[in-house]
Amino acid sequence: MSTLAVECAFKRDILPRWQAAGGEIRTQWSPTTVLMRDIGAGARADVVVLIDAPMAELADRGVVRRETIVPIARANFGVATLPGASRPDISTPEAFLAAMASARVTYSLTGASGLWFAEILRSNGAEAALERAVAIPEGFTAEKLVSGEADLAVQQISELMSVDGVEILGPFPEPFQRPTDFSAAIFTEAADPQEAERFLDFLQSAASEAAYRAGGLDPRLARTPA
């Protein structure tokens, strides 16, 4: 079970290498809020990748083994557009808000990026942009660029990079940026805890560190196994 923020790095590099080394994998990709809902309803796996705070909550509840929690990556919020499309300035708070007010924007209703984006607009008197925005329940917002339903897509930069045929316009400007830290852990009820431990080691390898960078993430590995 994994949050969408690491999907680009996982699908393009980490999981193919894992499978080439003889590992097996089945993955549920969802926003952290959706994963927490499913876990609360009893869903389990061997390994879970989540935002740090919800992960700590699961450890407090005994759902994951606290001693197995390892930091893996940090994501930043950003904006994407289509190649050749207008590229508005988003380098300052004022320019960012103006760009959101003048374009068709798409954001996630359940992802951390969308929740924070909506808070930014509401706290800065720009709620009108939300009224005409294309809000999706979950998934990748940049798909709405490809379909022609939006001009700008807001999400974690790593999530925007998961969609082919789009370009990163840039990160949210300070003070609107809010880095999000992600960790991996083993479920207390893991069916194969030994294989899960091997996978966590794999996620912290030097090759995986490079994959995180290529996938729009900043690695934050606690250790690098040989």
Residues 133 and 106 in one domain: yes
Residues of the chain below pLDDT 70: 223-226
132-160 pLDDT tens trace: 999 999 899 999 999 999 999 999 999 99
Within this chain, do residues 203 and 153 fall inside the same structural domain, yes or no?
Answer: no
What is the rounded CA–CA span in Å between residue 40 and residue 25?
A: 22
For the entire predicted model, the pTM comes to 0.87
Assess if residue 30 is contained within a domain.
Answer: yes
* Domain match, 58 and 33 both: yes
- Identify whether residues 82 and 166 lie together within a single domain: yes
Write out the residue range of the structural domain in which residue 53 sits.
Answer: 4-74+180-219
Would residue 202 count as lying in a domain? yes
**139 and 66 belong to one structural domain:** no
What was the pLDDT predicted at 224? 44
Same domain, 91 and 144: yes
* Dihedrals phi, psi of 162, to nearest 5 degrees: -75, -15
Please state, in angstroms and rounded to a whole number, the distance separating the CA atoms of residues 95 and 81.
16
Closest C-alpha among 1, 3, 49 to residue 156: 3
The pLDDT, as a whole number, for residue 222 is 75
Task: Tell me: do 149 and 81 sit in the same domain.
Answer: yes
Same domain assignment for residues 149 and 194: no
Give the pLDDT score at 113. Answer: 93
CA 95, 96, 101, 106 dihedral sign is positive
Amino acid 225: pLDDT: 43
Vertex 73, ends 97 and 123: CA angle to 5°?
Answer: 25
Look at residue 226 and tell me if it is in a domain.
no
106 in a domain, yes or no?
A: yes
Residue 116 in any domain: the answer is yes
* Three-state secondary structure call for residue 183: strand
60 and 95, same structural domain?
no
> CA–CA separation, 28 vs 11, rounded Å?
12
Domains contained in the chain, number: 2
Among residues 133, 149, 171, the one where a domain terminates is 171
- Looking at the fold, whether 85 and 157 belong to one and the same domain comes out as yes
- Looking at the domain assignment, is residue 141 inside a domain? yes
Give yes or no for a contact between 91 and 98, defined as CB atoms under 8 angstroms apart: no
- The verdict on residue 85 lying in a domain is yes
Considering the domain boundaries, does residue 225 fall inside one?
no
Q: Residue 223's pLDDT is what? A: 54
The verdict on 163 and 82 lying in the same domain is yes
The DSSP output letter for 133 is S
- DSSP E strands in the chain: the ranges are 47-51, 70-75, 77-81, 105-108, 134-136, 152-156, 167-171, 180-186, 218-219
Beta bridge partners of 60: none
111 shares its domain with 188: no
Classify 61 as helix, strand or coil: coil
Domain containing residue 128: CATH number: 3.40.190.10
